[in-house]
Copies of this chain bind each other. A is one copy, B any other.
Amino acid sequence: METEIVVALDAMGGDFAPVETVKGAVDAVKEMNVHIKLVGLESAIRTELEKYTYPQEKIEIIAASEVISTDEVPTMAIRKKKDSSMVIGMQLVKNKEADAFVSAGSTGALLTGSLLIVGRLPGVERPVLGTCLPTQKGFTFLVDSGANVDCKAKYLEQFGKMGSVYVENVFGKKNPSVALVNIGAEKEKGNALTKEAYTLLEESSLNFVGNIEPRNVPFGEADVVVCDGFVGNTILKFAEGLSKTLVGIIKKEITKGLYKIPAAMLLKPFQNVKKYFDADEVGGAPFIGLKALVVKAHGSSNAKAFKNAIRQCVLFKQADIIGKIQDRL
C-alpha cells in the first residue's frame, strides 16, 4: 500500500482564510491519499470543519495562536511570531511531521522562513520559486519567479536543473526543454549574467534549447524558462496587469458603437478566456531546493487552488523530487 502523504496547510493564509483553506483541505482528503494538518486558530478552523462531512482521521488541527500578515517585515515576523501558523507549519516540515507545507500568506515571510526553518538541501545554492505561466500550448514553468532578486550565473544553472526535475516528475513532461530568458536569441546577446549563464546551461546535461526572447514566452516555446527572480517576477506581474488592461479594452470595443454586440453574448466566452488563465488549476508556486516542499499559494486562492496545491505536494513526494534534485546537482 502507498504511504499516506502528510501535508501541513496554513489555515490562516490568504484573502479567504480560513473558509477556503479548510474547504480545500476537505476536498483534498476526499480525493487523495493524503493526511492534512491544518495549522492555525483552533476555534476558527473547527467552526469551518463542522460544515463538512469527511473522513475525520485524515484531517487534524495543529493550534497556532498568531498570524503573520502580508504587511509585516518578513525576517522580523518569522523571528517574533514563534506561534504563528506559518512558523508552526514550517516546523512541522522541519521535524518531519509533514512532507510539505502550503501557505497563501506573505510571500516574503514564507521564503525567509523556509530558508531559516526548513533549510536548503545540501548542494543547493539558492532555492527557487517556480510558477506555471499559461501559454498557447499549455503552460511554461518560470524559474525563478521571485525568490532571488540578485543572482549569479551558477544559480541560474541550478534553477534550470531544479525546474527540469520538477516539470519532468510532477507534470510528467519527459526531458523538458529549458530556455534562458534573454533579450536576444543569439548566444552572445544579453547582460553579463545571461551571457555567463548561457555557457553553463549549454555545458550542462539539460535539454537546453538556448535563449528565449520574452515575446516568445507566451507562445510556449519551452517547458522551463530560466531567469533571475527580479526579471521573473516582473514578467509575472506585468502579465497580470496587461491581461486585465487588454481584456478591458477589447470588451469595451466589442460592446460599443454601431457594431455593438450584446454584453450578455460575451459572458460565456470571457469566462472561458478567464479559465484559460486560471491559476487555481495549478495550485501554487513551489519553492524548490529546500529539505521539504513549500508551496506558495496565491493570496486570492480559493478551495480549488488549495486542493490543487495539496495535489502538487502529493505528486512531489511520490516522485521523490528531493532525491532526484540531489542526484542532479
Residues of chain A touching chain B, judged by Cβ–Cβ distance below 8 Å, are 135-136, 146, 149-150, 181, 183, 190-192, 194, 213-219, 229-231, 233-250, 253-254, 257-259, 261, 265-266, 268-270, 272-273, 276
Interchain CB contact under 8 A, A234 and B235: yes
Interchain CB contact under 8 A, A269 and B254: yes
Give me the 7 closest cross-chain CB pairs, A-B, nearest first: A215-B241, A214-B238, A149-B191, A253-B269, A214-B237, A218-B245, A215-B237
Interchain CB contact under 8 A, B254 and A183: no
CB of A108, distance to nearest CB on chain B (Å): 8
24 sampled A-B residue pairs with Cβ under 8 A: A135-B245, A136-B249, A149-B191, A150-B192, A183-B233, A194-B230, A213-B237, A214-B235, A214-B237, A214-B241, A215-B238, A217-B238, A217-B241, A234-B234, A234-B235, A238-B238, A246-B247, A246-B273, A249-B273, A253-B273, A254-B254, A259-B265, A261-B261, A261-B266
- Return the chain B residue nearest A151 by Cβ: B191
Interchain CB contact under 8 A, B248 and A246: no
Chain B residues with CB below 8 A from A215, complex form: 237-238, 240-241
Interchain CB contact under 8 A, B243 and A214: no
Q: Chain A interface mostly helix, strand, loop or mixed?
A: helix
- Return the chain B residue nearest A253 by Cβ: B269
How far, in angstroms, from A298 to B28 measured CA to CA in the complex? 51
Interchain CB contact under 8 A, B237 and A235: no
Interchain CB contact under 8 A, A190 and B230: yes
- Return the chain B residue nearest A255 by Cβ: B269
Chain B residues with CB below 8 A from A238, complex form: 214-215, 217-218, 235, 238-239
Interchain CB contact under 8 A, A136 and B191: no
Interchain CB contact under 8 A, A136 and B245: yes
CB of A261, distance to nearest CB on chain B (Å): 6
Chain B residues with CB below 8 A from A194, complex form: 230
- Return the chain B residue nearest A107 by Cβ: B184
Chain B residues with CB below 8 A from A241, complex form: 214-219
- Return the chain B residue nearest A248 by Cβ: B136
How far, in angstroms, from A244 to B265 measured CA to CA in the complex? 23
- Return the chain B residue nearest A186 by Cβ: B71
- Return the chain B residue nearest A251 by Cβ: B250
CB of A134, distance to nearest CB on chain B (Å): 9
Instruction: Knowing A254-B266, A268-B259 are in contact, say whether A246-B243 is a contact too (CB < 8 A).
Output: yes
- Return the chain B residue nearest A221 by Cβ: B241
Interchain CB contact under 8 A, B242 and A183: no
Interchain CB contact under 8 A, A245 and B266: no
How far, in angstroms, from A246 to B215 measured CA to CA in the complex? 12
Chain B residues with CB below 8 A from A247, complex form: 246, 250
Q: Name which of A231, A243, A250 has the most chain B CB atoms within 10 A of its CB.
A: A250
Chain B residues with CB below 8 A from A181, complex form: 234
Chain B residues with CB below 8 A from A217, complex form: 238, 241
CB of A64, distance to nearest CB on chain B (Å): 26
How far, in angstroms, from A269 to B150 measured CA to CA in the complex? 43
Instruction: Knowing A214-B241, A215-B238, A242-B243 are in contact, say whether A149-B250 is a contact too (CB < 8 A).
Output: no
